Structure formats: structure tokens, C-alpha cells
Amino acid sequence: MKLTTQQIETFNRDGFFIARGALLESDLQPVIDELNELIETRANILFTEGKIDNLHKEAPFEKRYGLLFAQSKEIGDGLDIMHYRGKSIFEFLINKNLLELMESLLGPELVCNPIQHIRAKPPQNMEGSTGVSFHNAPWHQDAGVMMEEGEASNIITVWIPIGDATQEMGCMEVIPGIVETGYLRHLKEGGTTIDPSFMPKSTPVVAECAKGDIVLMSRFTPHRSTPNYSDKCRWSLDLLYQPTGQHTGRTGHPEFIVRSHTNPNSEMHSHENWCELWEDAFDNPKGYVGHRSV
């Protein structure tokens, strides 16, 4: 999917746009199947260790993780792109439909930024006795989770629900129109959040999405997620893309070229090589990995 000229103008003005129906079922299903396998493996280990007593094998994908999480928070251990490094998620990072969309905003020379995550947001009533959830992200800009040098790069956040993401399920809320304002000071307290004295007064937009929709945000767009009051898990991907050659804002983790019209041989198509980049980043740490806050 490519954005129209008007849609690109809207994104550039607001720092925010929802690309409706950008992905097909066939784009997302391999990722869902891979996550199902990962959850099955983790659940069986926890069952053997006596940490859960019900595997909920009959539960559908959108409900099973929450039912397991209510029994043991350890079900979420290692459940992130950089740690489990599945083949299907790698192939999704270079998905043609996704890259067509990014090329319409960033041009033909594209890098996948090192900041990339899978989010499994269980129902709020399964969080435990405290009711406090690290799954609810406070107001922040993605410029606040990278080095200052990344502020000058044209980094775009791609938020992708793997299923429907309604307001009840704790979908994203965004504040458009902050592109020219730039970086707002962030505080560590509360989990890297915009300093209340810098918080824009604009009314947030509730970014409800159907499966296949993509939320696009600039690095300066304030956004947050709210509690999941449904009985389903809200699955999503946080991916960032940028033009090749610009600073990633996170030098301690690997970026890689996903599209190049001038040098196609520079594109990474090897899952094995991608895994080696992450393994080296963990085995031989260097560079900077952290949030920009005070």
C-alpha cells in the first residue's frame, strides 16, 4: 500500500495517520502462528514446573495469553522480537506491503531501526492484586526513548495491532500536531513520561484500529496506551523505520537495510544473519541503549 499525496500531507502536518487496511490477513497470520508456538512452548515449561495448572489449550489466540498470564507472569519472559528472534517476525520486518507504505513516506532507501517490540497487553483484571500494569504506557514521544542524536533523523513509528484494537482494549491515544514543537522533556518517574509541565493541552485522538490497520507516528507525536478492560489480549507490534544513513538513536542495538533501489545487494534477507546481529549485540555490548529522560 502506498499513501496518496493528501495522506502524506496529513501525516506531515499532524505527525499521525492511520493507514486503514494496509495489511492483509496473509501478512499477519505467520506472525500469529509463530506467537502461538512460542506461547505453547512457554506454557508447557511452566506447567511442568508447576507454575500454572491450566494450559487453556482450547482458548483462542486473543484470549489464551491473558489466561496464562493470570497464573504466571513468567509467560511473558523473552516475549520480544530481540529475544525470541523468530523467522516469521523477521520476514514481517521486510514485508513488501509494509515497506511500500514506508517508502511513500521515507523514500526508497530504508533501514529498520533497532527499536522494535511485540506487545502482549492482557486484560486489566488479570494483572494481579495491585492492578498496576507496566503494559499501560504513559504519555511519551519515541524521541524520548532514544539518544538525542536521533532527534534529527526522520524516524517513523509503525504501530501495528495484530488483531482489533478498540478503546475498551486499550488502544493507542495520540496527540496530533506536535511535529514542529519537537522534543518535549521526559521524566524517568512513571516509566519515561512527558514532564507534565510540557504536556500539550490538545485533546487526544483515540486511535481505534481493525486488524490490518497501521498507526503511523512521527518521533515527536505524544502517545500512550490505556488499560485493557476487555476479556481479550491486545497484541501489537512497535516498529520504527527511517532513511538509510541517518542516526538510529540507539547505537547499542543493530539496524539493518530493508530496501535499497540503488544497492539491492545491501538489503538483508537472511534470518540467520539478522539473528547473529542481535546475538553479537548482547554478547559484545557497545554503544548506547537507553531512554532520554531526567
pLDDT tens string 10-54: 999 999 999 999 999 999 999 999 999 999 999 999 999 999 999
**Sign of CA pseudo-dihedral 182, 210, 39, 81:** negative
Q: What is the pLDDT of residues 136-193, one digit of tens each?
A: 999 999 999 999 999 999 999 999 999 999 999 999 999 999 988 899 999 998 889 9
* CATH class of domain segment(s) 14-24+85-283: mainly beta
Consecutive H or E run containing 96: helix 96-106
pLDDT of 241 > 60? The answer is: yes
Under DSSP, the state recorded for 152 is: G
| Boundaries of every domain in the chain | 14-24+85-283
| Residue 128 pLDDT greater than 80, yes or no | no
Biggest CA pair distance of the chain: 56
Strand order across the beta sheet in which 256-259 lies: 16-19, 214-218, 156-161, 234-243, 110-121, 256-259
Q: Is the pTM higher than 0.75?
A: yes
